[in-house]
Amino acid sequence: MKSTIFNYVVHRVHNKMCAVEPTYHFKVLVPSMVAGAIIGKGGETIAQLQKDTGARVKMSKSHDFYPG
């Protein structure tokens, strides 16, 4: 009985893990002068981009520095 329950649980976990699409993370560095165009008036552009693509877009603070 224990073996049957264990096998069932392992099978369910495996199926759930295989059904999940992988998550990708990447950074795109843009000049601060174009950040406003990405965000859009009242955040409209970035909201639409996220809605259309399902992506989560996160903007860094204006003085954050990333080595190049």
pTM: 0.57
Report the pLDDT value the prediction gives residue 31, as an integer from 0 to 100.
83
- Does a structural domain hold residue 67? no
Question: Along the 68 residues of the chain, how does pLDDT read in single tens digits?
Answer: 556 777 777 778 777 777 767 777 888 888 888 888 889 999 999 999 889 988 888 888 877 777 65
Ramachandran bin of 33, using left for φ above 0, alpha for ψ from -120 to 50, beta for the remaining angles:
alpha
49 Cα distance to chain centroid? 13
* Range(s) of the domain holding residue 46: 24-61
**7: in domain:** no
Q: Would residue 19 count as lying in a domain? A: no
Number of domains in the chain: 1
Give domain status of residue 32, yes or no: yes
Polymer length of the chain = 68
As a whole number of angstroms, the distance between CA 11 and CA 1 comes to: 15
Provide the pLDDT for residue 3: 67
